[in-house]
Structure 1
Amino acid sequence: MKKFTALLLPIAIYAFLAPTAVAQEKTALVPLPSLDDFTKGEDGWALGLGLGVEYESAYEGSDEFGFEVDPAGALQWRTGDNIFYFAGEALGWRGLRDDIWLFEATVGFDEGREEADSDDGYLNGLGDSDEGAEFVLQARRAFNADWRYWLDGRVIASEDGNIGIFGVGRRFGEQNDGTGGELALVAVYHDSDRANKDFGINAAQAAASGYNQTYLDSGIRSIGLHYNYRQYINENWLVFVEGLYEHYSSDVQDSPIARSDYEAELGVGFIYLFF
């Protein structure tokens, strides 16, 4: 699945682990494996760099899969309950408020789609869609300060349309350093502009490709599961695993571009922490 590389800004730390009677200082802004935090609870600069290998759909709707190597990590600056970061093509901020609210704003880029993304030629005649800027706003609300369960809402806005992502998640493990596992159930909504950018076929594309002209209304895009796992090997090395499965709605499945009724992704990688 194409990743909107949008990600990340302020957030902070210092809360108490609710299930235990002893207060413990958090070493991550929030103890969720889905959120990079290389600061180890300290103000100032932090840098983590690494590589990840993903086995994923060639493009959204594809039934072709392949391996891709991507850089991982970010440069972060923490001040109190805020983290500012630069991660590849994304520049953002995260902030923790009242121990149970996490807000994030990010400017990033959508990778777009090229006809060559399909080795079997299923995109021939559809043309290339250019990379474009995206603005991401996110809010997460924990049920209590230990972030065992949480709700998530995210809006991804661009000139090509908008996506809304709504989820509920649970983290596993007792660590407060952002390691352990996390599983989320998500629903993805797209407006008609974004739906037709990814799965629609206009008159010119229909004539060039031989596919039927297709127009999609706004609505549910997919329902899925997201899994994240992180673990420190030692003081400086971090290993991560990420998995994603999303089942498309019937409207998306009816598009000739969607040659599969789902998209999936599995990735593993390592990050080295310099500070």
Structure 2
Amino acid sequence: MKKLYYLLCILVLHCFLFPAALAQGTEKALVPLPSVDDFSKGEDGWSLGLGLGIEYETAYEGSDEFGLEIEPAGSLQWRNGDNVFFFAGEALGWRGVRANTWLFETLLGFDEGRKESDSDDGRLFGLGDQDEGAELVLQARRAFDPDWRYWLVGRVVISGDGNLGLFGLGRRFGDKSDGTGSELNFVLVVHDSDYANKGFGVDSAQAAASGLNETRLSGGLRSIGLDYNLRHYVNQNWQIYGEALFEYFSSEVRDSPIARSKYEAEIGVGFIYLF
């Protein structure tokens, strides 16, 4: 498994250390950010991008186990000027640009939950399975200039199991306006007590079944992290994308018996075909 992981990393580095082999797009995206899917090629109407990605990530939040997972990528989109409506897997949403420097987004999606079987080492035994649940995501980004070189971001996740907030600062690299290039985000994440205990709390029944200490979190700071995204056109219809995420947990989260690691990390690459 590690050999496959290293091979994927080498392939990604090869693609981006030798950019002469890649043909960059010239269309103007809704915003020129690699983390924001835009398959419209600057035109109004329907667009579709489909592909697959391979992710190497922690098995669950706080896990010290890692594994490979294949995920679908892309979405069906409809663009009308500065507005894009999209359906991506289990998420339905809208995003729009206002005054060239504001990006707003709202989507309704699903949290996958957590199952005892997510841990191959039996670390979740006795904690029970968490069901998939709906969540509403609201996001806003404010660029310092229309070129979107730097921006502030705020995101709120609202669910029946609690709420999470993310606040950060972003930096874009590259000069294309078609959504290719790369970007780096530094973020601070907070959560309320309900959301914190969903991921890292242990109630009395779970403690009796699992042998873990009963744990109740108060909420507040969850983590600080870095998120790196990149996107390039291979040709007119093919895109390659990648993401690397590192999240370092707060002291309260690290003290939870569910948090077997002080951090969460993920790296992924994939391809998307634009129809």
Q: Same fold (TM over 0.5)?
A: yes
CA–CA separation in structure 2 for the residues paired with 1:218 and 1:197: 11
Q: Whole-Å Cα distance in 2 between the matches of residues 55 and 80 of structure 1?
A: 36
Q: Give, as a single letter, the amino acid of the residue that structure 1 aligns with 2:39.
A: F
Alpha-carbon distance in structure 1 between the residues aligned to 2:57 and 2:136 = 24
* 1:5-16 equivalences in 2 (<5 Å): none
Q: Aligned partners of 1:31, 1:115: CA distance in 2, in Å?
A: 40
* Distance in 2 (alpha carbons) for counterparts of 1:71 and 1:186: 26
Task: Sort the Cα spacing of 1:138 and 1:27 in 2 relative to 1 into closer, same or farther, 3 A.
Answer: same
| Aligned partner letter, 1:56 | E
Query: What is the CA-CA distance between 1:218 and the residue it aligns to?
Result: 1.3
Shift of 1:63: 0.1
Superposition TM-score, scaled by structure 2 size: 0.90
TM superposition shift of 1:113: 0.2
Who is 1:264 aligned against?
A: 265
SS in 2 for 1:74: strand
List aligned pairs for 1:142-181, cutoff 5 A: 142-181=143-182
Displacement of 1:188: 0.6
Tell me whether 1:118 sits opposite 2:83 in the alignment: no
How many aligned residue pairs are there? 250
Asked if 1:87 is matched to 2:94, the reply is no
Corresponding position of 2:100: 99
- 2:194 alignment partner, SS class: helix
What SS is found at the alignment partner of 1:165? strand
Give distance in 2, aligned partners of 1:111 and 1:143. 35
1:61, CA displacement in angstroms? 0.2
Aligned residue runs from structure 1 range 1-275, under 5 A: 27-274=28-275
Q: Deviations over 1:48-91 (max 9, x none)?
A: 00000000000000000000000000000000100000000000
Report how far residue 233 of structure 1 moved: 0.3
Gaps of 5+ in 2: 1-25
1:26 CA displacement: 6.3
Indicate the SS of the match to 1:70.
Answer: strand
Stretches of structure 1 that go unaligned for 5 or more consecutive residues are 1-24
Cα distance in 1 for partners of 2:45, 2:111 equals 30
2:159 alignment partner AA: S
Equivalent residue, structure 2, for 1:17:
none
Code of the aligned partner of 2:94 = W
Distance in 1 of aligned mates of 2:244 and 2:90: 21
Q: How far apart are the structure 2 equivalents of 1:118 and 1:257?
A: 11
Deviation string for 1:140-163 (max 9, x for gaps)?
000000000000000000000000
Structure 1 runs of 4+ with >3 Å offset: none
- SS of 2:104's equivalent in the other structure is strand
- RMSD of aligned residue pairs (Cα, Å): 0.8
1:16-73 deviations in Å (ceiling 9; x for gaps):
xxxxxxxxx9610000001000001100000000000000000000000000000000
Taking the aligned partners of 2:170 and 2:87, their CA distance within structure 1 comes to: 25
TM-score, normalised by the number of residues in structure 1: 0.90
CA distance in 1, matches of 2:62, 2:27: 40
Structure (1 or 2) with the greater helix fraction = 2
Counterpart amino acid of 1:250? Answer: S
Q: How far apart, in 2, do the equivalents of 1:34 and 1:78 lie?
A: 17
Cα distance in 1 for partners of 2:154, 2:41 equals 26
